[in-house]
Amino acid sequence: MEITELLEIVTVSRHFDDFVALDKVSLHIEAGEFFTLLGPSGCGKTTLLRLIAGFDQPDGGDILLDGKTILAAPPERRPLHTIFQNYALFPHMTVAENIAFPLRMAGIAKKEIQARVAEALDDVRLPDKARQYPDALSGGQKQRIAIARALVNRPRLLLLDEPLSALDAKLREQMQIELINLQKDIGITFIYVTHDQGEALALSHRIAVMDCGKIVQVDVPERLYGVPNSRFVADFIGKCNLLEGRVREQQGDSVIVELDGLGPVHVCRSETKFAAGSRCALTLRPEKIRIAAAIVNSADDESHFTGHVHDLLYLGDVTVYIVTLANGLLLEALLANSASGRTNFFEVGDQVEVAWSCDAGHLVLD
Amino acid sequence: MQGKSWSKYLLSLPPMAYLLIFFAAPTLIMLFASFRYPGEYGGLAPWYLQENGRITLDLTLENWQRLLCTDIYIRLFIKSIGYAVAATLICMVMGYPLALMIARSGRKSRDLLLLLVILPFWSNFLVRIYAWMIIFSPVGALTRMLNGVLDLFGVGPVTLMYSPTAMLVCLVYVHLPFMVLPLYANLEKHDLDLLDAAQDLGAGKWRRFWLITWPLSLSGVIAGSILVFIPVLGMFAIPDLLGGTDGIMIGNVIKQQFMESRDWPFGSVLSMVLTVTAVAVVLLGSRLGQRR
Ligand SMILES: Nc1ncnc2c1ncn2[C@@H]1O[C@H](COP(=O)(O)OP(=O)(O)OP(=O)(O)O)[C@@H](O)[C@H]1O
Ligand SMILES: [Mg+2]
């Protein structure tokens, strides 16, 4: 796939009185990408989307589409469409009229409109709903009509602001799969906003994690999960244990860290250079931690500690064990319930040993 | 469940009774009166005659024939409908932007603006018409100023008082709030995301209005129009005071029949026609409102 830059956001800022909603945000979005803005509520995702769509103007910075600024163009003249959270279907128009709307605005001939509306309805697999009014549709159907309407005149870019948040969990999962396939089929660039990290990981080619109006990390899902660049990202994306400590020494990509109250552990494959003595945290995903009554044939590069089961959470397919370590620290570990004939491996109070290999964890600086 | 529907009927009983006694019954009495002879000194003649112990009905179609055998009354009706249509349209053209502006303004100023719209109701209807008489009077400031300006262009003086224009201005003035309030109630509920969506999909300002706001506000437009059209159609006070000889409307003639001419049966005929016209307009309006 040839990579071409479609949208460029250059040090864009937006202030509401004293409040900084966006602070010098810069992003590059490539053509054909499924790009996600992920962040907690109030971090400025909607604000950024409204700036791209043209409903709001930045206080500083520039937004370029195909290398040309679009700040001067009003929303109706930007070649991009938005999917609104409540779908915003026109209640006085039939489904077909709704989908025809952008084509009518573009002055396309009636005959062609009809053909393209029918095609769009086929794309979202609702060909028999053309004559119905939006209030006769279910949530998922409304969602698909909104998407059909936004895609029918092939915009360069589709902006989606938490489009699935109004749907129930099952439907949401189904729509996620549909969105991925749709995006792949039509090849239109998506900018997707969500505060649901699971959704972001499942859907996106790349994710920008935002916090308090700033971009914290932009990366592909696997790297965001595996190599978070900060405590915030590690904590926000997936479950994560954070073990505090201090860097003792580094040799190439191998680091020795003195964990508070636990002693030295070995971390390998570190990408960053750490100054000796700097405070840091070891991020450890629960599924990377081995847990057993007694760890046998431990590898040399494994760190292991003894603890007690403090609590457990039976989730059906897996059980989450919360283990108290020597320093009082609580460590979360995950064990798949794959053995037959029993539910949990351990009970509360059992003594257990936990271990992880040197490449399981990842260091982030304070 | 049964108890619930019973209590619903019970609650609607007083208003139902009220409407039956004070609206349906008088209408029927009027309908009956339109087939009777006028009494010698006004009022109605008895509806039956007693001769040699035999009772015969004494009813007539004459009153209805009188309505149809000249075109005076038909033309008067058409003229009144013309005034009502004109007043309704002017109220709509003036009231719509006003209602839209109020509905889109901030919470605080919205309450104040609404208060200003209903402020005229705080003073008496007749007092307000008299105020217009003063404004329009030949020695009033408005007339003198207008004639002063006209004089500069070599146009002779005009009188504002006792003219259809004066009447229309006053009709619009009195009924404007009846247009603005239902329109506001409708426009205030609009989902502004729809306008954003329309803009996002390529609609400019005018198309956003004509394709989204206007069609979604039609029920408010119809409600406001009915509330203006019907009282204007039957209006007699404003034509009496401001209309002069040309400005007579059907309401004036009805009043005349009951008061000066003392011809109750013919007055009943005219008011029956007025009632039917009004009902027809309401039905038409609700039919239009039901369509998408
Ligand atoms: N018009 C406005 N005036 C003042 N403050 C605003 C305005 N719009 C947004 N904000 C503030 O900017 C911040 C970011 O808002 P934004 O809607 O972009 O958040 P978000 O990331 O979309 O959150 P959510 O996930 O809850 O939708 C919020 O704290 C909000 O209060
Ligand atoms: Mg938002």
Predicted confidence (pLDDT) per residue in A55-114, tens digit: 999 999 999 999 999 999 999 999 999 999 889 999 999 999 999 999 999 999 999 999
**Residue A1's pLDDT band (boundaries 50, 70, 90)?**
very low
Q: What is the pLDDT of residue A215?
A: 95
Neighbouring CB atoms inside 10 A of A360's CB total: 20
Specify the CATH number for the domain of residue A86. 3.40.50.300
Choose one of A209, A232, A255: the last residue of a domain: A232
Residues A134, A157 within the same domain: yes
Query: A37 vs chain B: nearest CA distance in angstroms?
Result: 20
Portion of chain B with pLDDT greater than 90, in percent: 61
Residues A145, A35 within the same domain: yes
Pairing relationship of beta strands A279-284 and A241-251 according to DSSP bridges: antiparallel
Torsion of CA B124, B131, B226, B74, to 10 degrees: 120
Ligand nearest A37 Cα, by number? 1
pTM: 0.83
Q: How many domains does chain B contain in total?
A: 1
Torsion of CA A49, A51, A54, A58, to 10 degrees: 180
Residue A294, pLDDT > 90, answer: no
Residues A227, A281 within the same domain: no
Choose one of A232, A259, A289: the last residue of a domain: A232
Residues A138, A15 within the same domain: yes
**Residue B47's pLDDT band (boundaries 50, 70, 90)?**
confident
Task: Give the distance from CA A102 to its chain's centroid.
Answer: 30
> Whose alpha carbon is nearest atom 17 of ligand 1?
A46
**Residue A341's pLDDT band (boundaries 50, 70, 90)?**
low
Residues A197, A245 within the same domain: no
Query: A40 vs chain B: nearest CA distance in angstroms?
Result: 23
The domain of B144 spans 71-261
Residue B169, pLDDT > 80, answer: yes
Q: What is the pLDDT of residue B193?
A: 94
Q: Do the Cβ atoms of B199 and A76 come within 8 Å?
A: yes
Residue that wins the pLDDT comparison between B274 and B3: B274
The interface residues of chain B toward chain A in range 95-114, judged by CB-CB distance below 8 A, are none
A41 Cα: distance to centroid of ligand 1 (angstroms): 8
**Residue B253's pLDDT band (boundaries 50, 70, 90)?**
very high
Q: Do the Cβ atoms of B193 and A92 come within 8 Å?
A: no
Asked if A105 has any chain B CB less than 8 Å from its own CB, the reply is yes
**Residue A53's pLDDT band (boundaries 50, 70, 90)?**
very high
The domain of A90 spans 5-232
Residue that wins the pLDDT comparison between B54 and A193: A193
Specify the CATH number for the domain of residue A359. 2.40.50.140
Q: What is the pLDDT of residue A129?
A: 92
Asked if B206 has any chain A CB less than 8 Å from its own CB, the reply is no
Q: Is residue B195 part of a domain?
A: yes
Residues A109, A246 within the same domain: no
> Token pair of A118, please?
């029918």
Query: B196 vs chain A: nearest CA distance in angstroms?
Result: 8
Q: Do the Cβ atoms of A88 and B194 come within 8 Å?
A: yes
Portion of chain A with pLDDT greater than 90, in percent: 61
Q: Which residues contact B13 (CB under 8 A, 6 or more apart)?
A: none
**Residue A170's pLDDT band (boundaries 50, 70, 90)?**
confident
State whether the Cα torsion B95-B96-B101-B107 is positive or negative: positive
Asked if B291 has any chain A CB less than 8 Å from its own CB, the reply is no
Pocket test for ligand 1, best of A45, A160, A194, A196 (most atoms within 8 A of CB): A45
Residues A308, A279 within the same domain: yes
Q: Are A89 and A100 in contact (CB under 8 A)?
A: no
**Helix (H, G, I), strand (E, B), or coil: what is residue B186?**
helix
> Whose alpha carbon is nearest atom 11 of ligand 1?
A21
Interface test with B, best of A50, A92, A94 (most B CBs within 10 A): A92
Q: Do the Cβ atoms of B201 and A81 come within 8 Å?
A: yes
Contacts 24+ apart (CB under 8 A), B271-278: B271/B30, B272/B30, B272/B31, B272/B34, B273/B67, B273/B77, B274/B233, B274/B234, B274/B250, B275/B27, B275/B30, B277/B77, B277/B81, B277/B233, B278/B230, B278/B233, B278/B234
Which tens digit of pLDDT belongs to each residue from B267-283?
A: 999 999 999 999 999 99
Q: What is the pLDDT of residue A277?
A: 86
**Residue B48's pLDDT band (boundaries 50, 70, 90)?**
confident
Q: Is residue B279 part of a domain?
A: no
Mean pLDDT, range A11-33, rounded to an integer? 94
Q: Is residue B56 part of a domain?
A: no
Which atom, in ligand 1's list, is nearest to the CA of A17? 4
Asked if A155 has any chain B CB less than 8 Å from its own CB, the reply is no
Nearest to B204 among A76, A102, A149 (CB): A76
Residues A193, A285 within the same domain: no
Residues A130, A208 within the same domain: yes
Mean pLDDT over the full length of chain B: 90
Lowest mean pLDDT among A298-302, B18-22, B82-86: A298-302
Mean pLDDT, range A348-359, rounded to an integer? 88
Residues A113, A261 within the same domain: no
A66 Cα: distance to centroid of ligand 2 (angstroms): 26
CA A99 to CA A116: how far, in whole Å? 9
Q: Are B276 and B76 in contact (CB under 8 A)?
A: no
Asked if A84 has any chain B CB less than 8 Å from its own CB, the reply is yes
> Token pair of A23, please?
């602070």
Q: How many domains does chain A contain in total?
A: 2
Residue B2, pLDDT > 60, answer: no
The interface residues of chain B toward chain A in range 145-204, judged by CB-CB distance below 8 A, are 191, 193-194, 196-204
Which tens digit of pLDDT belongs to each residue from A205-257?
A: 999 999 999 999 999 999 999 899 999 999 999 888 999 899 998 888 888 99
Which atom, in ligand 1's list, is nearest to the CA of A50? 18
Query: A104 vs chain B: nearest CA distance in angstroms?
Result: 9
Interface test with B, best of A55, A82, A135 (most B CBs within 10 A): A82
Mean pLDDT over the full length of chain A: 90
Asked if A81 has any chain B CB less than 8 Å from its own CB, the reply is yes
A44 Cα: distance to centroid of ligand 2 (angstroms): 7
Q: Are B150 and B233 in contact (CB under 8 A)?
A: no
**Residue B4's pLDDT band (boundaries 50, 70, 90)?**
low
Q: What is the pLDDT of residue A57?
A: 95
Interface test with B, best of A51, A76, A80, A82 (most B CBs within 10 A): A76
Residue A40, pLDDT > 80, answer: yes
Choose one of A201, A232, A263: the last residue of a domain: A232
| Side-by-side strand order, sheet with A263-267 | A263-267, A254-259, A241-251, A279-284, A362-365
Residues A152, A273 within the same domain: no
**Residue A358's pLDDT band (boundaries 50, 70, 90)?**
confident
Residue A332, pLDDT > 50, answer: yes
Specify the CATH number for the domain of residue B183. 1.10.3720.10
Q: Is residue B107 part of a domain?
A: yes
Residues A159, A125 within the same domain: yes
Residue that wins the pLDDT comparison between A322 and A301: A322
Q: Do the Cβ atoms of B198 and A106 come within 8 Å?
A: no
Q: What is the pLDDT of residue A3?
A: 54
A21 Cα: distance to centroid of ligand 1 (angstroms): 7
